[in-house]
Amino acid sequence: MKVINTNFTLSKNDKLVVLTGAGVSAESGLKTFRDNNGLWENHKVEDVATPQAFIRNPIMVWKFYKQRFMQLSNVKPNTGHYALCKLEEYLKDNFTLITQNVDGLHHLAGSKNVLEMHGSLSKSVCTKCNQEMHMKDVDLSVDLPICSECGGELRPKVTWFGEVPYHLDNIFRSLQEADYFLVLGTSGTVYPAAQFVAIAKSQNAKTICVNLTKQQMLPL
């Protein structure tokens, strides 16, 4: 495992921002997106993770995300998730957790200040009235789940390729105020997360990367 810039000590007054990716959930049994044996094996990105795919074949897209949602009932947070909870308990409001993961395990472990930039598998949203619904309240037995408010077509509340992630204003603000930026379990190759290290460094934050592959840092 590659570790970069680990010589640091946190005080309760330091502001720490953490970015987590699929590698953090791997120990819980969730395969990383880019592994050959990952959850998306046999599914091209353009077939299940783009707005165009949903327009073209919403039944197949929903079948894929139903399977991913059902899998969550068999996984639990791991020591990495709980360690981040301890950091939040120590730093309180000076701690911000940004995650690219949609599995909800940070919340399940007890983390509170979590920005799920790619959304959540546990939620859906109506394509007609924008009403949000928890997946547990949605009838997933049908091919195309519908909104209980307006009858419109629901879609998983996840960020697909080509869409703008959630919470970007809060994310950029936290990076600009950070004293330390910790990156865990992500190669950082997907925009806009690929620029987060550069943004934090531009504000003189100390950066730490813990990942199996080298962090790909892009310029501002």
Query: Which of 26-40, 58-72, 104-118, 164-178 shows the lowest mean pLDDT across its residues?
Result: 26-40
State pTM to two decimals.
0.88
Mark whether 96 and 183 lie in a shared domain: yes
Domain that holds residue 140: 36-74+122-158
Q: Which residues are catalytic?
A: 118
Mark whether 58 and 15 lie in a shared domain: no
Q: Is the peptide bond before 192 cis (omega within 30 degrees of 0)?
A: yes
Confidence class of residue 92 from pLDDT cuts 50, 70 and 90?
A: very high
Mark whether 181 and 215 lie in a shared domain: yes
Q: What is the mean pLDDT of residues 40-66?
A: 87
Rounded CA-CA distance 155/145 in Å is 8
Q: Which neighbouring-strand residues pair with 155?
A: 125
* Mean pLDDT across the chain: 88
Q: What are phi and psi of 72, to 5 degrees?
A: -60, -25
Mind listing the pLDDT tens digit for each residue in 107-160?
Answer: 999 999 999 999 999 999 999 999 999 999 999 999 999 999 999 999 999 999
Mind listing the pLDDT tens digit for each residue in 165-200?
Answer: 999 999 999 999 999 999 999 877 778 888 999 999
Mark whether 174 and 213 lie in a shared domain: yes
Mark whether 216 and 131 lie in a shared domain: no
CATH number, domain of 136, equals 3.30.1600.10
Mark whether 219 and 201 lie in a shared domain: yes
